[in-house]
Amino acid sequence: VTEPNPQAQYVLGVDIGGTKLSTVLATRAGDIVHKVRRPTDANLGPASGVARLIEMLHETIRAHGEDLDHGQIGGIGVACGSPMDAERGVILGPPNLPSWNPVPIVEILEREFGLATRLENDANAGALAEWLFGAGRGRRHVVYLTMGTGIGGGLVLDGRLYRGANGNAGEIGHMRVVDRGGPLCGCGKHGCLEAFCSGPSIARRTRKALAGEPDSHAAPHMWAQIREALCGDLEQVTAEHLFDGARAGDPLALRLVDETAHYMGIALANVIQAFNPEVIVLGTIATAQGDFFLDRVRRVVRDETWPLMSEIVEIVPSPLGSRVGDYAAISVLLQETYKEASC
Ligand SMILES: [Zn+2]
């Protein structure tokens, strides 16, 4: 079986992460019917992980009862971190699963279950999820950006996922946002958006700023937290502490939040100038902080893009939030059957 069955009532989704694996059975309309979660146990290697995944999929199907046969399942969507060869369906050792290299997951699952299987990187899959089930529903031009450990991105343009020449389009986190220099990014470049605005980058910038302002009036709330909750340990400061400080009115925290919004706004302005999207959906930190952060981003975007484009684009937090992984996996498969319906 190589083509998904668009008439089938159900689909399966697989989310492969560095710490956990999850499998879901969902209806075509996106109702998650059953979900199974297990640790990835990355140290046990890919053979053990894949075996567990197969077991989990069987369990997910069985959970629905004896009456569910494979004919009622349209296929399997798999979301995993890059690098990968999505077209050939091969995982190529993402940073959180370096030993999974190579793992021809599509071939393995198609052989085991006799169901059409598709693979996509998790940022692209997240963009598909927002397009089909989240803030991008009913739109044709959707940009999606995570704002967690890293900054992943995906583009749905003209009602389909835009992959680029060799599957690397949408890496908005690695756009340069300062004219030269800037902090070193995990990708090896300097001055990437991710090096300023990922969770760890925000925490690092906050620690650096605090170290330069010990006990001053610049950040009374944050210093109080560091003394009490963190027992004086500056190393434990996170992005969340920064936003708490800013909400409490710390001048230093507010300056750093404004700076974070500035870099994010510059990157989004460039994305808007290039792609003229209808909606930009931001996950993780942006979802947690909502308008307190996004209003600042929106102001930068308004100043940095043509009104023609900034007036029509909505910049919104992800309504799927932590459920995005489940929807992402099934959307990898469902994108094909929805393509016609949405155009
Ligand atoms: Zn980078």
- State how far the alpha carbon of 271 is from the alpha carbons of 146, 297, 315, in Å: 15, 13, 12
How far apart are the CA of 216 and the centre of ligand 1, in A?
33
Distance CA 117, CA 13 (A): 10
How far apart are the CA of 325 and the centre of ligand 1, in A?
23
Low-confidence ranges of the chain (pLDDT < 70): 1, 338-343
How far apart are the CA of 147 and the centre of ligand 1, in A?
14
How far apart are the CA of 177 and the centre of ligand 1, in A?
11
Model pLDDT for residues 154-169, shown as the tens digit of each residue: 999 999 999 998 888 9
How far apart are the CA of 185 and the centre of ligand 1, in A?
5
How far apart are the CA of 247 and the centre of ligand 1, in A?
29
How far apart are the CA of 41 and the centre of ligand 1, in A?
27
Q: Within 13 Å, how many C-alpha atoms sit on residue 175's CB side?
A: 19
Residues in the 5 Å CB sphere of ion ligand 1: 174, 185, 187, 189, 192
pTM: 0.93
How far apart are the CA of 176 and the centre of ligand 1, in A?
8
Backbone angles phi, psi at 75, to 5 degrees: 155, -175
Report the candidate in 21, 12, 75, 77 with the shortest Cα–Cα distance to residue 49: 21
Give me the helices (H) in 26-180, please: 46-62, 105-113, 122-133
Give the DSSP H or E segment for 260: helix 251-275
How far apart are the CA of 5 and the centre of ligand 1, in A?
38
Q: Could you give the 3-state DSSP secondary structure of residue 313?
A: coil
Q: Which two tokens stand for residue 190?
A: 């300097």
Model pLDDT for residues 30-55, shown as the tens digit of each residue: 999 999 999 999 999 999 999 999 99
Model pLDDT for residues 131-189, shown as the tens digit of each residue: 999 999 999 999 999 999 899 999 999 999 999 988 889 999 999 999 999 999 988 99
Distance CA 271, CA 227 (A): 41
How far apart are the CA of 4 and the centre of ligand 1, in A?
35
How far apart are the CA of 151 and the centre of ligand 1, in A?
9
Strands in 233-300 per DSSP E: 279-282
Give me the helices (H) in 79-167, please: 105-113, 122-133
